[in-house]
Structure 1
């Protein structure tokens, strides 16, 4: 008798036979596992979201702290630069020169204002040095040229002339020529202007 005939003859027995106790237990375990699987996946997914959210929060706090520190430093330097005391303004220039590696538009604008309007020559000279940290900044360059046109203090004039020569700023040639041709220009300033002109023409 082959297998097919055996099954057909005992079909009723197979149909009526109850599931064994062990088979029933295994079936229930598998059913329970299949029901729990989506829950586990959901838990893992939620945990991943929580971790990602925590990471974003940490980054946000970090950048907020960085910005707060930067803003605090900027405010401190600006307070020095706007002080009535020339010594305090000079201290502010040095603080900027020492502590700032990147451009800060608020401070640079204040330094440019000092370059044009400060009454103290030492503060102006220190300011020029601070501005030279950013030689590619065109605002710095154009304001150095503009300052040369109206500056009357010889020491500051010489500092500006040397700075423009250092920057290889060819746009300064006209201002240098005017300074050289001006009868009121001090001889030492004229000699520095002539030297700068020759260097720019090389």
Structure 2
């Protein structure tokens, strides 16, 4: 396996989420690869550093605001419940199932087809990556985040919205950290700048706080000044995060 493939699996390796075969493959690669072994050590240090920190989840209001942003898009794809009479025989069920399959297939083909009826590979790729964002494996979600940064642009609003959702709600710190790094590519978008500021106000993981501080200072987002000052005054914030704040605050003054 290539180093990139192994590094995608390191988070799940540490969480003991890999299959026996995958675990053996990762350990065999680590024995011969100094770079991947170093990557694993750095990831272990990160996990150790944040393991004792309280994990505050974003507020219900924050989730409601984000979900409202996507409500119109999701409403168009909302599945409809079909009521079937219990007295209907099995052949009728099959006919209904076949009809649903035909309708769904036609919908998908139409959704990803251009004006000439050809399947749009860009739309299909977007759908593939969006599906990977929901994968149970943290490594797969990190891979989706990395793909988003490498393959998509600010015009791909669905991808940006998916990255913001990972930033706000993913329970895995490594995934949220990857989402922050990916979103730094899209800071020309107002929705991204707002999301980064809100994340700085709610996320309690020091590694993510530091990454957010650096990005917001780099783009000179003055709206971040107030939440940064609050972090500096917060006695629960680690000293090394406060040092990062003190180094970057002058860029916003």
Pairwise same-fold verdict (TM > 0.5):
yes
> Quick one: which of 87, 91, 99 aligns to 2:139?
87
Determine whether 1:200 maps to 2:252: yes
Runs of 4+ off more than 2 Å: none
Shift of 1:125: 1.6
Secondary structure, aligned partner of 1:180:
helix
Q: Distance in 2 between matches of 1:102 and 1:117?
A: 21
Residue matched to 1:31: none
Q: Deviations over 1:49-82 (max 9, x none)?
A: xxxxxxxxxx953xx64x7111101101101111
Shift of 1:102: 4.1
Secondary structure, aligned partner of 2:149:
helix
Determine whether 1:119 maps to 2:142: no
Gaps of 5+ in 2: 1-113
Determine whether 1:110 maps to 2:162: yes
Q: Deviations over 1:1-60 (max 9, x none)?
A: xxxxxxxxxxxxxxxxxxxxxxxxxxxxxxxxxxxxxxxxxxxxxxxxxxxxxxxxxx95
- Report 1:63-102 matches (<5 A): 65=118, 68-102=120-154
Q: Does the 8 A contact of 2:154 with 2:189 survive in 1?
A: no
Which structure is larger by alpha-carbon Rg, 1 or 2? 1
- Classify 1:79/1:149 alpha carbon distance in 2 versus 1 (closer, same or farther; 3 Å): same
Q: Distance in 1 between matches of 2:210 and 2:176?
A: 12
Secondary structure, aligned partner of 1:83:
coil
Residue matched to 2:211: 159
Q: Does the 8 A contact of 1:161 with 1:193 survive in 2?
A: yes
Q: Distance in 2 between matches of 1:176 and 1:194?
A: 9
Relative contact order, higher structure (CA 8 A, sep 6+): 2
Q: Does the 8 A contact of 1:96 with 1:130 survive in 2?
A: yes
Q: Distance in 2 between matches of 1:108 and 1:90?
A: 14
Residue matched to 2:194: 142
TM-score norm. by structure 2 comes to 0.53
Q: How many residues align?
A: 140
